Amino acid sequence: MQKISLLVGALVIGIAAAQAQQKTHIDPVKVDAAIKAAFPTAPADWALRLTPDETMKQCSASHNDPAKNVAAAIVTREKASIEYPADGNFIGDWKKGEALAQNGYGMRFSDYPPARPNGGNCYACHQLTKKEVSYGTLGPSLLEYGKLRDFKPDAVKATYEKIYNSHVALPCSNMPRFGANKILTIDQIKDAVALLMSPDSPVNKGQ
Ligand code: HEC
């Protein structure tokens, strides 16, 4: 028994020492300064992205695993950012949505000054159709996304909200906040919703 408690004691001291060591070695102020210094020619609106907002700070501090009350505060704050289509219609044109999903234009250093609207770059992280074989896997496959949700109106609205601000569905999501960060317009988000939620889109026809 004594041996076990000694062992536990040693472990606790070990963990505390490791934490103390981490704290002395990582000075967030220096890290921030180094990151900012690394992008001396960043365009003004891009440079703003080097300063984390409250949600990013809370997600970083908790390694994307915030306490329940912090998570709830993030969701409330992010939800408040959502602007809804004036006519209450969430579904645009899936063909434009497919082009948007393919398009990675925008917000790179080579895209300044912007020559055309940003793309959504969804394929960089998601499988969406069978036809497109080049896609990333950071996010889940969205094949048959609408079909699996029976194209329900509630799911249509939730999809719009997810794309507008991914942190509403998952407080520390790794998916860009397309609407909240002004990457995509409301109409572009509606086109992406159409790609996912229209019965005749290739996502749902298994094409
Ligand atoms: C940088 C990577 C990245 C990009 C780009 C991205 N996503 Fe995501 N997406 C994710 C990750 C990671 C998840 C899973 C975690 C989560 O739900 O936030 C996700 C989840 C989702 C979900 C929820 C899936 C489910 O099963 O509930 C939808 C819908 C979605 N993405 C749509 C899109 C659309 C549409 C685009 C393009 C406009 C897009 N994503 C671009 C990373 C990305």
In terms of pLDDT, which residue wins out, 31 or 117? 117
- Whether the CB of 159 sits within 6 Å of ligand 1: yes
**Start-to-end CA span in the chain (Å):** 63
Token digits of residue 166:
């991914």
Which pLDDT score is estimated for 97? 98
- Whether the CB of 158 sits within 6 Å of ligand 1: no
Which pLDDT score is estimated for 26? 82
Pocket test for ligand 1, best of 55, 166, 190 (most atoms within 8 A of CB): 166
Ligand 1: centre distance to CA 164 (Å): 11
> If you average pLDDT over every residue of the chain, what do you get?
90
Which pLDDT score is estimated for 5? 55
Which pLDDT score is estimated for 1? 47
Pocket test for ligand 1, best of 125, 135, 151 (most atoms within 8 A of CB): 125
144-148: list long-range contacts, CB under 8 Å, 24+ apart.
144/203, 144/204, 144/206, 145/196, 145/197, 145/203, 145/204, 146/196, 146/197, 146/198, 146/199, 146/201, 146/203, 146/204, 147/199, 147/204
pLDDT tens profile 167-194: 999 999 999 999 999 999 999 999 999 9
Is 119:100 a contact under the CB 8 Å cutoff?
A: yes
Ligand 1: centre distance to CA 165 (Å): 10
Q: Count other Cβ atoms within 10 Å, centred on residue 177.
A: 21
Q: How confident is the model at residue 21 (pLDDT cuts 50, 70, 90)?
A: low
Read off φ and ψ for residue 198, nearest 5 degrees. -90, 135
pLDDT tens profile 64-122: 999 999 999 999 999 999 999 999 999 999 999 999 999 999 988 889 889 999 999 99
* pTM for the structure as a whole: 0.88
- Whether the CB of 192 sits within 6 Å of ligand 1: yes
- Whether 127 shows a pLDDT value over 80: the answer reads yes
